[in-house]
């Protein structure tokens, strides 16, 4: 069953009225249980993008919005699904799905913030159920079967018998309210409200140039042009800040950073490609001419690295570094390529250079942690990997290698704890719970590690992820 088929009968029920914001931290609430049931099924059948160059950006933007509106950060989850149609949607309980094809249509993370803020508006305002009495009459398993039926006749019959309308469209009132709250959330999180307007413009531009492929987001979120005009009128009432040099530079940097996301998604989806095709996907002509050759080498190096073409990637990164010797990302990516080529000396040199430029650059700490682990220096390895996790606790490679480092020291409690963290970051909650159970039995009661294990276990059980 294709994911898009699942989307068409997702847990977004038509014509629902506004209701108070959901307190998503409530344990065992009906909305959370329903969301968990949906996610558990989706994890079994659908292809999720797990590359940290994509997921870290989506999570960072999402969590910035969550903090801005004062919600519990652990109660929201942002997931990227590989699917051909550009779309995003939320399900009850704070689970937000973004299709990678939608990410490819965006210009920068501000537009992504507009997408996520709108979906969070649906969650916060509980826009999901037309008649809660009808839905609560069903148990979670039956309701999950309806939501995940994908055209299944039995599921459709259950829905019909329960008199449940499982069409996707929200009412105009719900969409307008989600837009209104999105504008508020963007402002509270430090993103320009214009982010939502720019997102609408990107979708309308996609529709204009792809008339034969009506984007799912347009078909499932009605009256986009009129909504775009309402948002435009709102942004025109906002105080206009002059586009000073710093603001212009920040916008340019965000758009350049977003090209990394596009390059990675394009490489994951299409595999080995020629240079012209890679550069066309990232619209290299948008880069100012003075910087174009440097950025061209960097993005080609990134694409080759993701495709496993490490010799070619090294050549491109070295060329980019010749033009700019002060970018820590270039050195860290280069170090990773050397690591994959088993060239430990050059990998260590490049990672070290990255940290000289930016001491808190997590990817470089991870590479040095791996190199020290391979060299048998577990103390230094643990120091680098712990540092990386202090900067980004969701770093998959850091969690995995830290588990390996503690295994070498004989600290089985920490080994299994970080193994559990690794499984969480790779969206395998069942394995995470299994490892956490082992870790609890190995850790000394009353220690900080023991309480951390308990907290992690409670969170996985509550959130399903």
Backbone angles phi, psi at 27, to 5 degrees: -80, 140
Residues 6+ apart with CB under 8 A from 91: 10, 11, 12, 34, 35, 38, 39, 97, 128, 147
Residues 6+ apart with CB under 8 A from 362: 387, 388, 391, 392, 395, 398
DSSP, residue by residue, 329-379: HHHHHHHHHHHHTT-HHHHHHHHHHHHHH-TT-HHHHHHHHHHHHHHT-HH
Say if CB 96 and CB 151 are below 8 A apart.
no
Say if CB 385 and CB 365 are below 8 A apart.
yes
Rg (CA), the chain: 23
Per-residue model confidence (pLDDT) at position 417: 98
Per-residue model confidence (pLDDT) at position 313: 97
Q: Which strands form 88-91's sheet, in the order they lie side by side?
A: 77-81, 95-99, 88-91
Per-residue model confidence (pLDDT) at position 298: 97
d(CA 4, CA 85): 8
Helices (H), 125-171: 132-136, 140-147, 153-161
d(CA 336, CA 343): 10
Per-residue model confidence (pLDDT) at position 3: 36
Per-residue pLDDT of the chain (465 residues), as tens digits, is 333 333 333 333 222 323 333 344 455 677 788 788 888 888 887 889 999 999 999 999 999 999 998 877 778 999 999 888 788 888 888 999 999 999 998 999 999 999 999 999 888 887 665 445 544 544 444 544 444 444 444 444 444 444 444 434 556 777 778 888 888 899 899 998 888 888 888 777 766 666 555 555 555 555 677 777 777 777 777 666 556 667 667 778 888 899 999 999 999 877 677 888 888 888 899 899 999 999 999 999 999 999 999 999 999 999 999 999 999 999 999 999 999 999 999 999 999 999 999 999 999 999 999 999 999 999 999 999 999 999 999 999 999 999 999 999 999 999 999 999 999 999 999 999 999 999 999 999 999 999 999 999 999 999 999
Residues 6+ apart with CB under 8 A from 407: 415
Tally Cβ neighbours within 10 Å of residue 13: 23
Backbone angles phi, psi at 194, to 5 degrees: -60, -15
Per-residue model confidence (pLDDT) at position 19: 32
pTM, rounded to two decimals? 0.83
d(CA 342, CA 344): 6
> From the centroid of its chain, how far is CA 31?
22
């Amino acid at each position: 069953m294709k994911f898009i088929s699942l989307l068409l009968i997702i847990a977004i029920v038509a014509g629902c009225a506004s209701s108070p914001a959901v307190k998503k931290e409530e344990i065992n609430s009906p909305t959370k249980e329903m969301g968990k049931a949906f996610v558990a099924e989706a994890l079994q059948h659908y292809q999720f993008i797990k590359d940290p160059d994509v997921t870290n950006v989506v999570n960072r933007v999402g969590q910035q919005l969550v903090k801005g509106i004062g919600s519990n950060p652990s109660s929201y989850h942002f997931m990227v699904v590989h699917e051909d149609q550009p779309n995003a949607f939320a399900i009850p309980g704070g689970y937000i799905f973004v299709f990678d094809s939608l990410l490819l249509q965006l210009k920068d993370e501000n537009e992504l913030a507009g997408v996520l803020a709108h979906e969070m508006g649906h969650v916060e305002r509980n826009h999901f159920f037309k008649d809660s009495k009808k839905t609560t009459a069903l148990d979670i398993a039956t309701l999950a079967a309806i939501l995940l039926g994908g055209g299944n006749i039995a599921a459709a019959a259950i829905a019909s018998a329960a008199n449940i309308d499982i069409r996707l469209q929200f009412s105009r009132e719900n969409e307008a309210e989600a837009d209104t709250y999105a504008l508020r959330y963007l402002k509270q999180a430090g993103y320009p409200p214009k982010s939502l307007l720019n997102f609408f413009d990107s979708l309308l531009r996609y529709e204009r140039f792809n008339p034969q492929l009506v984007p799912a987001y347009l078909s499932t979120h009605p009256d986009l042009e009129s909504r775009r005009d309402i948002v435009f009128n709102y942004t025109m009432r906002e105080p206009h800040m002059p586009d000073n040099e710093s603001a212009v530079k920040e916008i340019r940097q965000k758009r350049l950073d977003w090209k990394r996301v596009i390059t990675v998604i394009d490489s994951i989806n299409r595999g080995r490609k020629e240079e012209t095709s890679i550069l066309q996907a990232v619209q290299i002509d948008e880069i100012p001419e003075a910087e174009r050759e440097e950025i061209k080498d960097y993005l080609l190096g990134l694409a080759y690295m993701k495709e496993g073409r490490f010799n070619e990637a090294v050549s491109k990164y070295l060329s980019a570094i010749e033009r700019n010797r002060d970018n820590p990302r270039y050195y860290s990516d280069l170090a990773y390529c050397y690591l994959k080529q088993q060239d430990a000396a050059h990998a260590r040199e490049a990672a070290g250079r990255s940290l000289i430029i930016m001491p808190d650059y997590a990817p470089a700490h991870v590479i040095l942690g791996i190199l020290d682990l391979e060299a048998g220096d577990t103390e230094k390895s643990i120091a680098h990997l712990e540092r990386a996790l202090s900067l980004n606790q969701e770093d998959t490679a850091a969690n995995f290698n830290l588990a390996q480092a503690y295994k070498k020291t004989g600290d089985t409690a920490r080994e299994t704890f970080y193994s559990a963290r690794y499984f969480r970051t790779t969206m395998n909650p069942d394995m995470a719970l299994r490892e956490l159970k082992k870790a609890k039995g190995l850790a000394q009661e009353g220690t900080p590690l023991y309480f951390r294990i308990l907290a992690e276990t409670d969170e996985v059980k509550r959130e399903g992820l």
